[in-house]
Structure 1
Amino acid sequence: MPDVIIPGPAGRIEGKYTPGKAENAPVALILHAHPRGGGHMDTPVSLMMYEVFKQRGFAVLRFNFRGVGRSQGVYEQGLGELSDGATALDWMQAHNANAPYCWVAGHSFGAWIGMQLLMRRPEIAGFISVSPPTNMYDFTFLAPCPASGLVAHGDADVIVPHDDMEKVMSKVRAQKGIDIKRQIIPGAGHLFSNHVEPLQTAIDDYLDLRLVELDNPKPKITKR
């Protein structure tokens, strides 16, 4: 799990990177929670998602947003952090030119950044959004959502109440054939303290289904 330093728009970006198990391995980008709320690339949720994709053979990168750890720069209300995410994804693709597709996985603030990346980068084939902060940020940019993914939320989340997440995410329009699955984790709060294991199970179960579809696409039927 080598340390990497990526040249970013605000200076260096500190990250941890594991290459894929094959030359044409897919890639996954992990995005941590809010920098002002103690979020960083080594929190339990970020580490767990990193390991989930690593064990499945992905080339996977987690990194610190600007101003966190050894990443240079200062917090920029999401605009700079979105640029950091795009830069990290560019770096991943430059090192994995044969990757067939990409996933983004984010926690809280990182989920918001990840879903913005999703709208800008057509190569992103799936997403994992844990505790998306639907009561803090506008999610109407998902119009329509271009890729299927999983939204995981704790029913004991007092920072972003479950009902608020349901209200927002249930209204998100999706392109034809796209499905956003919502998974509620009983007893879990916003940070998933003491509930990382059931969250991992939910993510693994979802990936078991989605990756089969991505790796074995149905042939297109053409009309004569």
Structure 2
Amino acid sequence: MAHPKSEKTTAPGPAGAIELLVDTPATPPLGLALVAHPHPLFGGANTNKVTHTVARAHAEAGLVTLRPNFRGVGGSAGQHDHGVGETEDLLTLIDWALRTWELPPVLYLGGFSFGAYVATRVARILLGEAASAVEANPNLDPERWRAALPSLTLRHVTLVGLPHGLALGSGTVYTTPELPTTLPVLMIHGEEDTVAPLARALDWARPAARPIAVVPGADHFFHGKLHVVKTLVKNALAVYPPV
């Protein structure tokens, strides 16, 4: 099987250039995927191994897959914005990608750790809901983005190591927005995650009765378990293909 091709490029963003890796499938693309990396202030970047693993699974499923560097990471302009500016950046990238490539308007979102948190915010906006109940940001107006992306279908979301409540690694308290039960979501979490504890991921999943794929013995970064993560993602994408 021919492997996806990966290349570095830049795209225009609200705070300046956004550096990203693009994983292009070996066959004609069936849609678009965005995969977001962990916390920028703690070494997170688009080369993170978990992010790379999730992105490659999407590319192998036939999707043009973008792995941006968040603000202030690598060649991306701007400064860390606690998820607000990062949400706007990902929305901007979706619009840019659909204009850059001739792609079916089918979108998959994925994220690891802080990137998973941002992915939930982007999903809320694309579904026509506010990213946060307490946030007033005209650039994150759901009506604005639904008007800009009128025919886009959000097909599936992959959340790996999702933080909710107090994240012990950064001391950040995440108010992670809920997602509608009609949206297919794959949650993957390490049994021994001490950064974003499993108990708090269960707190997020409980209201919607969302299952979580718990990887036995895995830490936050899934050391020695990345093959399990990739298998779980590929299996989920086979259930929710682009066409």
Task: Please classify the TM superposition score into its range, dividing by the shorter chain length.
Answer: 0.7 to 0.9
**CA shift at 1:182, angstroms?**
1.6
Aligned pairs (5 A) from 1:1-224 = 1-21=6-26, 25-122=30-127, 123-135=153-165, 136-139=173-176, 141-142=177-178, 144-172=180-208, 180-211=210-241, 215=243
1:186 partner letter: P
Cα deviations by residue, 1:98-150 (Å, 9 ceiling, x for unpaired): 414110010010001101111111421110000110123112x3263551110
1:169 partner letter: A
Question: Given the superposition, is the C-alpha separation of residues 21 and 99 from structure 1 closer, same or farther in structure 2, using an over 3 Å criterion?
Answer: farther
**CA shift at 1:172, angstroms?**
3.4
Question: Given the superposition, is the C-alpha separation of residues 130 and 143 from structure 1 closer, same or farther in structure 2, using an over 3 Å criterion?
Answer: closer
| Number of positions where the alignment pairs a residue of Structure 1 with one of Structure 2 | 206
The 8 Å contact of residues 14 and 89 in structure 2, kept in 1 or not, is answered as yes
The 8 Å contact of residues 119 and 145 in structure 1, kept in 2 or not, is answered as no
RMSD of aligned residue pairs (Cα, Å): 1.8
Cα deviations by residue, 1:184-212 (Å, 9 ceiling, x for unpaired): 1111111112221111111122222222x
Tell me the TM-score normalized by structure 2. Answer: 0.79
> How far, CA to CA, are the matches of 1:51 and 1:166 in structure 2?
27
The 8 Å contact of residues 58 and 237 in structure 2, kept in 1 or not, is answered as no
Tell me the TM-score normalized by structure 1. Answer: 0.85
Question: Given the superposition, is the C-alpha separation of residues 54 and 158 from structure 1 closer, same or farther in structure 2, using an over 3 Å criterion?
Answer: same
Amino-acid identity (%): 27
The 8 Å contact of residues 41 and 62 in structure 1, kept in 2 or not, is answered as yes
The 8 Å contact of residues 15 and 78 in structure 2, kept in 1 or not, is answered as yes
1:121 partner letter: L
The 8 Å contact of residues 154 and 192 in structure 1, kept in 2 or not, is answered as yes
**CA shift at 1:157, angstroms?**
0.5
Q: 2:134 is matched with which residue?
A: none
User: Structure 1 stretches of 5 or more lacking a match?
Assistant: 174-179, 216-224
> How far, CA to CA, are the matches of 1:207 and 1:60 in structure 2?
13
**CA shift at 1:24, angstroms?**
5.6
> How far, CA to CA, are the matches of 1:142 and 1:108 in structure 2?
16
Cα deviations by residue, 1:161-183 (Å, 9 ceiling, x for unpaired): 2122112211138xxxxxx4421
Runs (4 or more) in structure 1 with deviation over 4 Å come to 20-24
The 8 Å contact of residues 108 and 132 in structure 1, kept in 2 or not, is answered as yes
The 8 Å contact of residues 29 and 62 in structure 2, kept in 1 or not, is answered as no
User: Structure 2 stretches of 5 or more lacking a match?
Assistant: 1-5, 128-152, 166-172
**CA shift at 1:23, angstroms?**
5.1
**CA shift at 1:49, angstroms?**
1.2
